[in-house]
A and B are shown apart, each in its own frame.
Chain A
Amino acid sequence: MKKLRLFLIENSVVITFIVLLAIAIPASKLPGQFLLQEILTRLGRSSFLVISLLLPIMAGMGLNFGMVLGAMAGQIGLIFISDWGVIGIPGLLLAMIISLPISVILGWLCGSIMNKAKGREMVTGYILAFFMNGVYMLFALYAMGIIIPVLNLELLLSRGFGLRNVIDLINVRQCLETFIPLKIAGVNIPVLNYLIIAAVGIFIVWFRKTKFGQDMRAAGQDRAVASAAGISVDRTRIFAIIISTVLAGFGQIIFLQNMGTINTTNSHEQTGLFAIASLLIGGASVTKASIPNALIGVILFHLLFLVAPMAGKNLVGSAMIGEYFRQFVSYGVIALALVLYEWKRVAQEDASRAMLRGGVAPDKGKVNTL
């Protein structure tokens, strides 16, 4: 009985969402096959991005809002291959190779800046994403065509420089999904996507077990202790962010080749929000996240994404209310996770302070006075 209660408390977010969906899915009246197809596609398209968030959480740096930097690097790779006209899987590989050094540099930058702002990595990463967005716009709207030569003039605005708002990825569109065609009962299954996601999952699991992974976990649990044990905490943290940024870059490439188009200036803007919200809906917290969290989260988040407008229309008579509700949920779940995390942290600090005073629990009125 106690076990059951513990289970319910630990998985309260997931359970809430399952209940929510249990109401919303029938109310949306969407056909099951459509939902299944969409979810399988979206699982193949978004999971990689969500998995890229795992390592910084292990390194104690919280949710990596700076992953947007990686997404930008991935987009730069895709922009170049569509300029050069490289087709299919080789094109995607080339895009990943181009994005790699950019991601490493951006990740190193992000990690170094976060090291200067220890204890508020998340808000720093959040602002850094906005800042780099400005730099990215400088690149996309002014540097392309002036400093960086562009071969395919169709990519450029009519003024002769700067990229068009939308870039068509016709060369690489859905080439992962169609590489190994598999259709079961009328539902297409993107096999190669799943293989790639499995590979990155195995990489994460393997990485955790290496010496470096263990160092990272130690640095995440207690910086002072890890440092005393001879671990270079700052370097470890930067490394965690670099890996996360590189993976986010690859993830964005996988995501966009499925979508088929890039919105030059804002495809990356929602990436961080959606990935982080998915992970948290999957039951992760700011300090603990696993691959199952990521996968469950993607399924639940995107189911809500799909059914919210129709459910809103059928339940309250307005599709917009359903859509706004979904938007509220994606921001609200992040707010909730952050509050729970900080709440717990403050309570722990209070408890340890009470221990110092001689194990006397602070009386109710004075908890949190500091």
Chain B
Amino acid sequence: MEQIKRFLSDFGLPRIIIAVFLLALFMMAPAVGVNVPDALKDVFNRFGMNGILVLALIPMIQAGCGLNFGLPLGIIAGLLGATISIEMGYVGAYGFFFAILTALSFGSFFGLAYGALLNRVKGGEMMIATYVGLSSVMLMQIGWLALPYKSAVMIYGFSGEGLRPTISVDGFWRNILDNFMSIKIYDIFDNMVVTISDFWAYIPGIKWYGKIPGNDIGKWLYEPKLIFAFPTGTILLFLFVALIVWAFFHMKTGTAMTAVGSNPIYARAAGINVNRMRTISVMLSTMLGAMGIIVYQQSFGFIQLYDGPLYMAFPAIAAILIGGARVNKASLPNVFTGVILYQGILVMTPLIFNAMLKLDMSDVIRIIVSQGMILYALTRKTKVLK
């Protein structure tokens, strides 16, 4: 009994409710005629898309700077990277990595300034972070309009200046990671065909069709039906970045950072430069946010400028909190479970509700679940228990 109680208080009631809710949704799915492989495809896709953005929250939480409501600042760095890469006309993998590198360098500058600011307002970081994020988005609106971008695919056609609100990355690096070693299952003449990227196709059962080049599949006379796809590349990159974050928090700097977050007085007594650690955490957070949005865009297919990033911190924060993070403690398992649970709910609720009630309540449910989770975390006592 005692153990159950402890588990409940550790894991948190809302989290259990959400997990049970999601499980129930998945169990109901076949009964109400929802295509489960399709839903799973979406969940995996969104897992890869949002993973790094959620990961970006870990350093600041661990260093005691709270939930990074200022994530839009990092996202702006990412947008700068993406648009500059397109402006230069770089395509394919080169364009993608150029975008990430540019974004990381902008992110480090922004993070440095943002960190210096947050060091002066200790204890009130979250509210400041919110408004730093919001006002930087607003300031950049002027930037998107006034910066001297020239690329014809990005600027307004009629006036010839100013970027468009949404820019397609088609023809540059759309789905470049998603398609890298992706596992796809097609339905070809009622046969299941499994392809791994551009490798050999395998048909369970009887026949070999020979090579099916993944990208040329549209040239077939008969349009093969995509049943399921697994974005291997995106998820591999996410796992790789997660590994780096994990390794970082097991090195000297990372451990010191955790110490600062757990007990700043003790950390200072141990000779750790508290401000420096906090600045590094903010820089890391901003840089990961910058990288995360580019990975998001390659999956999503579009760069959203102007007020697009305004509320982008909320889904990420809701996800990590659903995964079990607190305002001052977060770990990688929190990120994994959180993203799966949160994105799972985002994918499943509209499908199930549409199928059952002919009613799309997904927006309302999304708002209540995500904001409710943040509210719950804010009202909990933030003492470190273990």
B123 touches A331 (CB 8 A): no
Q: How far is the CB of B73 from chain A (nearest CB, A)?
A: 12
B128 touches A342 (CB 8 A): yes
What sequence of 0s and 1s flags, for each residue 324-336 of chain A, a beta carbon within 8 Å of any chain B beta carbon? 1101101110110
Chain B CB within 8 A of A128 CB: yes
User: Residues of A contacting B134 with CB < 8 Å?
Assistant: 331, 335
User: Residues of A contacting B162 with CB < 8 Å?
Assistant: 318, 320
**A130–B135 CA distance with the chains assembled, in angstroms:** 18
Known: A126-B127, A369-B275. A320 touches B121 (CB 8 A): no
Contact partner, A134, options B130, B264, B364, Cβ 8 Å = B364
B268 touches A370 (CB 8 A): yes
Chain B CB within 8 A of A101 CB: no
B371 touches A131 (CB 8 A): yes
Chain A CB within 8 A of B167 CB: no
Contact partner, B375, options A131, A133, A328, A339, Cβ 8 Å = A131
What sequence of 0s and 1s flags, for each residue 128-168 of chain A, a beta carbon within 8 Å of any chain B beta carbon? 10110111011001100000000000000000000000000
Chain B CB within 8 A of A191 CB: no
User: Residues of A contacting B139 with CB < 8 Å?
Assistant: 328, 332
A335 touches B131 (CB 8 A): yes
Known: A134-B371, A324-B145. A331 touches B122 (CB 8 A): no
**A334–B337 CA distance with the chains assembled, in angstroms:** 35
Chain A CB within 8 A of B265 CB: yes
Interface size class of A (residues with CB under 8 A): 35 or more
**A368–B278 CA distance with the chains assembled, in angstroms:** 12
User: Residues of A contacting B375 with CB < 8 Å?
Assistant: 113, 124, 127-128, 131
User: Residues of B contacting A120 with CB < 8 Å?
Assistant: 124, 126-127, 378
User: Residues of A contacting B374 with CB < 8 Å?
Assistant: 127, 131
Known: A321-B146, A369-B268. A130 touches B314 (CB 8 A): yes
Chain B CB within 8 A of A207 CB: no
Chain A CB within 8 A of B132 CB: yes
CB nearest to A118 among chain B residues: B379
CB nearest to B142 among chain A residues: A324
A123 touches B130 (CB 8 A): yes
Chain B CB within 8 A of A119 CB: yes
Interface size for B (C-beta < 8 A) is: 43
Chain B CB within 8 A of A40 CB: no
Interface positions, chain A 314-351, Cβ under 8 Å from B, are: 316, 318, 320-321, 324-325, 327-328, 330-332, 334-335, 338-339, 341-343, 345-346
Q: Is the interface of B mostly helix, strand, loop or mixed?
A: helix
Known: A369-B268, A369-B275, A370-B264. A339 touches B117 (CB 8 A): yes
Known: A134-B364, A134-B368, A331-B134. A338 touches B127 (CB 8 A): yes
What sequence of 0s and 1s flags, for each residue 326-368 of chain B, a beta carbon within 8 Å of any chain A beta carbon? 0000000000000000000000000000000001010111011
B132 touches A335 (CB 8 A): yes
**A227–B135 CA distance with the chains assembled, in angstroms:** 38
User: Residues of A contacting B30 with CB < 8 Å?
Assistant: none
B142 touches A369 (CB 8 A): no
Interface positions, chain B 46-94, Cβ under 8 Å from A, are: 69
Interface positions, chain B 129-155, Cβ under 8 Å from A, are: 130-132, 134-135, 138-139, 141-142, 145-146
CB nearest to A65 among chain B residues: B127
A321 touches B124 (CB 8 A): no
A134 touches B138 (CB 8 A): no
A327 touches B141 (CB 8 A): yes
Interface positions, chain A 289-335, Cβ under 8 Å from B, are: 316, 318, 320-321, 324-325, 327-328, 330-332, 334-335
B120 touches A368 (CB 8 A): yes
Chain B CB within 8 A of A117 CB: yes
User: Residues of A contacting B371 with CB < 8 Å?
Assistant: 127-128, 130-131, 133-134
Can you report 25 A-B residue pairs in the complex whose CB atoms are below 8 A from each other? A117-B378, A120-B126, A123-B127, A127-B374, A127-B375, A130-B314, A130-B371, A131-B372, A133-B371, A134-B365, A134-B372, A137-B364, A324-B138, A327-B141, A328-B135, A328-B138, A331-B134, A332-B138, A335-B128, A338-B131, A339-B117, A339-B121, A339-B128, A369-B274, A370-B122
Supply 12 further A-B pairs (C-beta < 8 A) apart from A327-B138, A335-B135, A342-B123. A120-B124, A130-B314, A134-B368, A142-B359, A318-B145, A331-B134, A338-B131, A343-B120, A343-B121, A368-B119, A368-B122, A369-B275
